[in-house]
Structure 1
Amino acid sequence: MALNDNDRSIAGFTMAGHSLVHWFETSIPIFLVVWLAEFEVSYALIGLIIALGYAPFGAGALPGGILADKYGPKRLILLCLAGMSGAFVVLAASAYLESIYAIAVGLLLWGVAASIYHPAGLALISTGVEERGTVFAWHGIAGNVGIALGPFVAATLLIFLEWQYVAAALAVPGFLAAIYGLQANFDSTAAVAEDVDAGPNEALSLSGLVSSSRTLFASAFALVFVIVTFEGLFYRGMLTYLPSILEGLPAIEGFAVVPALEQYDIDLEFYIYVGLLIVGIAGQYVGGKLTDRLPPAKGLVGIFAILAVCALAFIPVTEMGLVAIVALCGVFGFFLFAIQPFYQDAVAVYTPADTRGLSYGYTYLGEFGLGAASIAMGGYVLGAFDGTAAFFAMVTSFALIGAALSLALLVGIDRFSAGKPAPAGAEADD
């Protein structure tokens, strides 16, 4: 079914926002290796500074969702785009101050601005779009394009330019997207019933926040939130440590794809990693289209199970040749991103429209905030145990728990939904 004009307008606006959030997010690790050399700081200090950017990216999702419900998602997304781009201008300017702490300020500003997007963007899709599954698919694809292009463009520009000019160049698309968004025209409540107030609300008081949160967590959303948290633990752990795990494999060592980047230790494993993210584009599309045909809980059960198998398969495959490693990374990348439209749709199914921003705020607090705990857990496991088997066993456990919880959602807990009650199979009819 073709998208109507309103759906297309919202899709274009949110796709631009989603791609740019991840464009900025995944370029930061590329700058990390440059900053280590430029400022001659320790891994401990640079890690703390990078955390200043990523921590509010997750923690700020909840207040971002509250603000989206109060002021409307379009305003919040415009603020996000302008704020992220301005933060990268601050990063570029910090080079002239010759201070790593000025970089910390820029990263902190980026994290605060970026945290707004997911609750606002997904709330907009869930209340404004009729063909929600299709737009979730294209929205996810746009995110993966940003995820792949951010590090690729940053690394490529570093061949020719100083890092501060690269940071400034990366900010330009964000400003252009904000200008485009100012002219975008759409109805943000077109997909909800006329008697449902899904537009900007009055200021949410503390008692109102507590009451709305209590209502959400007394419903099936509580289970969805835990499911998303375990998906976040799996996602962040694997994507954080997979490049460094690949780097030490005999099958990969010694391959220098771009000699000009050798000074920054960017090697074959980086391009395998980017390839994995590109394959995720197809996963996002297929997953999004399937949300129109499958209940979200059923899709979550199946894909969590596949991800668990993929994680366990890394244990023997890392001892094999390059072809086997690349093939497994491709399969893994496909399903890692195919799962995302299903949990995004689950939030839309199991929550009322007038708290959708708050719902997605909690969702991404779990995904990016609590999910980031696997970075610390993974570092400890990789450091404390010989080899990577224990790490892959750990992330496999996250996927298996997610599958078990999704099965519970599928077989009956969903009947207590705070949104519309959804017996098995009914979700696909939205």
Structure 2
Amino acid sequence: MASHGLVHTYELSIPILMTIWLLEFSVTAAVLGLVVTVGYALFGVGALPGGVLVDRYGSRLLIVGCLFGMGTSFLLLSISPHILLVTVALGVWGIAASVYHPAGLALISNGVRRDVRGTAFAYHGMAGNVGIAFGPLVTALLLLVFDWRIVVVVLAVPALIVAVVGTVTEFDETANVDAGDGNGESGIHSLSEFVRESRRIFTIGFTLVFLVVISNGLYYRGTLTFLPEILDDFLVVLLGEVRFGIFDPESPFADEFDVAQYVYVGLLTVGIVGQYVGGKLTDRIPPERGIAVMLATLAVIGVLFVPAAQVGLATLALVSILLGFALFAMQPLTQATIAKYSRANSRGLSFGYTYLSIFGIGALGAAIVGVGLTYASVFAVFLVLAGIALCGSMLAVTLVARGRGTE
């Protein structure tokens, strides 16, 4: 949980730090955008090789390495005299952070009893939401008091502490692995073995899960990337140019934390409750059935979001709460389904593929929404997202109809 929260804290502190780096290193937004893209791209692409390493060396080693790597990357940022070293530091962060999701989720899948695994996924996801919602806020508040170089050192410390704790803590990361499933170690040592193991993973059931995850990733990334701007447009119409930030009006951060940002953080905070409920549902019903219902709910929300937002503040708040709840309730359900339709000794590779799809293919959701907002309308964008969610729900229904997974 601590590691998951830290991964997303660092991920979303970078955009806040970018406002400082633009001035500090006298670069254009285009150059800085390319620099940050290096780190984010490695964060997504590295999930697949990270999954291979998890199956070979175990989750503990990879998670501890992830934490040390992220902490070291932020220490490297603190001494960066030039934008080139910033690029290197963010690259180190991306490589280190990329292994977390396959390692952490494989650890839960293989180390937690099946009757409470959904709850474990829920708590794990809730911690991630804490990092997503409050990581940027904490970073911005620290920047009001300290120089950015001191701030990144402060941010690095928790990762290094948790890494040490993870090194000395005793636990059995394969406690839930049956003898017939192997010992959790993969035999992947070459490209041909990687291809062979990948073919074994992609059964009909796992392929359906993979497509469902892509649908969820497109909806998730497409919605959250532009939602602050979309909310701001609705709130300007409803409230006018109201800004009640927590910062001094002259602060460069005042405009960043306007009403829309508060609503957005509130939506992400509601996601903590969604994670918990989704995890509890996973312990009580087949997770693929929960996915089908939740994606259908997201489709309905996609159709109703714009009309509800145009009615007034109360309906905008209500539909935002429902969106935040359903969007993040999906995560433990999805993770449990991936675990159900994968074998214990290839869980790392299985989660590597699925998180490559979420952060890689799912990133196309931002492009879809961006094109829609440029050439169509907000309502058209949400209709497209609703269609994507509906397709995912139908795939999940097919999964339910086919029967049980590999466990």
In the alignment, is residue 192 of structure 1 matched against residue 181 of structure 2?
no
Q: How far is 1:303 from its partner?
A: 0.6
User: Is the alpha carbon distance of 1:132 and 1:215 closer, same or farther for their aligned partners in structure 2, counting shifts above 3 Å?
Assistant: same
CA distance in 2, matches of 1:16, 1:395: 32
Q: How far is 1:230 from its partner?
A: 1.2
Q: How far is 1:333 from its partner?
A: 0.8
Deviation track 1:70-100 (CA, whole Å, cap 9, x = no partner) reads: 0111000000011111111222222xx1x33
In the alignment, is residue 398 of structure 1 matched against residue 398 of structure 2?
no
CA distance in 1, matches of 2:313, 2:36: 31
Bigger shift: residues 194-203 or 294-303: 194-203
The answer as to whether partners of 1:152 and 1:274 remain within 8 angstroms in 2 is: no
Q: How far is 1:120 from its partner?
A: 0.6
The answer as to whether partners of 1:77 and 1:116 remain within 8 angstroms in 2 is: yes
Matched position secondary structure for 2:181 = coil
Q: How far is 1:411 from its partner?
A: 1.3
CA distance in 2, matches of 1:102, 1:379: 31
User: Is the alpha carbon distance of 1:323 and 1:154 closer, same or farther for their aligned partners in structure 2, counting shifts above 3 Å?
Assistant: farther
Consecutive unaligned residues of structure 1, counting only runs of 5 or more, are 1-14, 421-430
Q: Which amino acid aligns with 1:148?
A: A
User: Is the alpha carbon distance of 1:171 and 1:189 closer, same or farther for their aligned partners in structure 2, counting shifts above 3 Å?
Assistant: same
CA distance in 2, matches of 1:77, 1:205: 23
Task: Provide the residue aligned with 1:122 in structure 2.
Answer: 105
Task: Provide the residue aligned with 1:87 in structure 2.
Answer: 73
Q: How far is 1:245 from its partner?
A: 1.6
RMSD: 1.8
Structure 2 counterpart of 1:112, from 85, 95, 107 = 95
Consecutive unaligned residues of structure 2, counting only runs of 5 or more, are none
Give the alignment's TM-score, normalised by structure 1: 0.88
CA distance in 2, matches of 1:274, 1:177: 26
Q: How far is 1:41 from its partner?
A: 4.1
Structure 1 counterpart of 2:252, from 249, 259, 263 = 263
Task: Provide the residue aligned with 2:215 in structure 1.
Answer: 230
In the alignment, is residue 358 of structure 1 matched against residue 349 of structure 2?
yes
Matched position secondary structure for 1:225 = helix
In the alignment, is residue 70 of structure 1 matched against residue 56 of structure 2?
yes
In the alignment, is residue 369 of structure 1 matched against residue 391 of structure 2?
no
CA distance in 1, matches of 2:247, 2:13: 20
Percentage of matched positions with identical amino acids: 47
In the alignment, is residue 408 of structure 1 matched against residue 394 of structure 2?
no
CA distance in 1, matches of 2:303, 2:20: 33
Aligned residues: 399
The answer as to whether partners of 1:284 and 1:337 remain within 8 angstroms in 2 is: yes
Deviation track 1:113-138 (CA, whole Å, cap 9, x = no partner) reads: 11100101111111111121121111
CA distance in 2, matches of 1:40, 1:113: 28
CA distance in 1, matches of 2:290, 2:124: 18
CA distance in 2, matches of 1:198, 1:260: 57
Deviation track 1:341-400 (CA, whole Å, cap 9, x = no partner) reads: 111011111111111111111110111111111222222222223x42222222222211
Q: Superposed, which structure 2 residues align to 1:31-180 within 5 Å?
A: 31-39=17-25, 41-94=27-80, 97=81, 99-130=82-113, 131-180=116-165
Bigger shift: residues 269-278 or 350-359: 269-278
Structure 1 counterpart of 2:296, from 296, 305, 318 = 305
CA distance in 2, matches of 1:219, 1:209: 19
Q: How far is 1:50 from its partner?
A: 2.3
In the alignment, is residue 17 of structure 1 matched against residue 3 of structure 2?
yes
Bigger shift: residues 209-218 or 196-205: 196-205
Structure 2 counterpart of 1:283, from 257, 266, 274 = 274
The answer as to whether partners of 1:159 and 1:260 remain within 8 angstroms in 2 is: no
CA distance in 2, matches of 1:236, 1:190: 34
The answer as to whether partners of 2:228 and 2:261 remain within 8 angstroms in 1 is: yes
CA distance in 2, matches of 1:331, 1:254: 24
Task: Provide the residue aligned with 1:4 in structure 2.
Answer: none
The answer as to whether partners of 2:38 and 2:91 remain within 8 angstroms in 1 is: yes
Matched position secondary structure for 2:317 = helix
Q: How far is 1:34 from its partner?
A: 3.2
In the alignment, is residue 343 of structure 1 matched against residue 325 of structure 2?
no
Q: How far is 1:38 from its partner?
A: 4.2
Q: Which amino acid aligns with 1:257?
A: G
Matched position secondary structure for 2:390 = helix
CA distance in 2, matches of 1:284, 1:81: 23
The answer as to whether partners of 2:188 and 2:194 remain within 8 angstroms in 1 is: no
The answer as to whether partners of 1:91 and 1:164 remain within 8 angstroms in 2 is: yes
Q: Which amino acid aligns with 1:120?
A: A
CA distance in 1, matches of 2:83, 2:197: 41
Q: Which amino acid aligns with 2:93?
A: W
Matched position secondary structure for 2:144 = coil
